[in-house]
Amino acid sequence: MARESLSLQAMTQRAISEVGAVFSHIKDEASERMCAEILRARRIACYGVGREGLMMRALAMRLMHLGLDVHVVGDMTTAPIGQGDLLLVSAGPGTFSTVLALLGVAREAGARTMVVTAQTSGAAPRSADVVIHLPAQTMADDGGASAGLLPMGSLYEAVQLLFFDLVTILLREQMGQSSDQMRARHTNLE
């Protein structure tokens, strides 16, 4: 990369362009399917590793703001899941050992499973009931000449954050809620 292209403004424009390019390949059916699965779930458990885990926590927070019964796997207050529930996990590169283990536990308990991923041929999406495809660079394909500006899996994670907030807006509309109702559920313990 040439020195002059390392300015903050140039990098910003390139990063925004890369995020936009990913969104141009995401079909409306992905958000519609995600909304339908979330709305039909009695309880939702979210999980991801590393920075993907942070994006899943951000999604869980927004779902809580909508008044849904949502938990983050690993928190000591996470309720058990079973029939009528949804395990919603992220596996950008297609597989993580912990994700595969949790999918097995959820399936055995009778819960539905949803995997958000960039690599639909991976072991995790192949074993899920629902796959949400966000076709962005992850650590599985971040090398070589085709690598984007953002390092490792950052493009996927940025797309996740934006996609999840857009899904939240769609859910809010489908649930007939207002921004004020969501805001009223925001913690006051900060």
Residue 117: which H helix or E strand, with range? Answer: strand 112-117
How many helices and strands, by DSSP H and E, does the chain display? Answer: 7, 5
Q: How far apart are CA 22 and CA 181, in angstroms?
A: 31
Of 69, 70, 59, give the one whose Cα is nearest residue 132.
Answer: 59
Q: Is 120 helix (H, G, I), strand (E, B) or coil?
A: coil
Q: How far apart are CA 21 and CA 60, in angstroms?
A: 26
From the list 4, 52, 157, 173, the catalytic residue is 157
Residue 144: which H helix or E strand, with range? Answer: none
Q: How far apart are CA 148 and CA 22, in angstroms?
A: 11
Asked if 108 is an active-site residue, the reply is no
Task: Specify the DSSP class assigned to residue 71.
Answer: E
Burial class (CB in 10 A: 0-12, 13-18, 19+), 122: buried
> What is the phi/psi pair of residue 76, to 5°?
-70, -15
Positions annotated as catalytic residues are 157
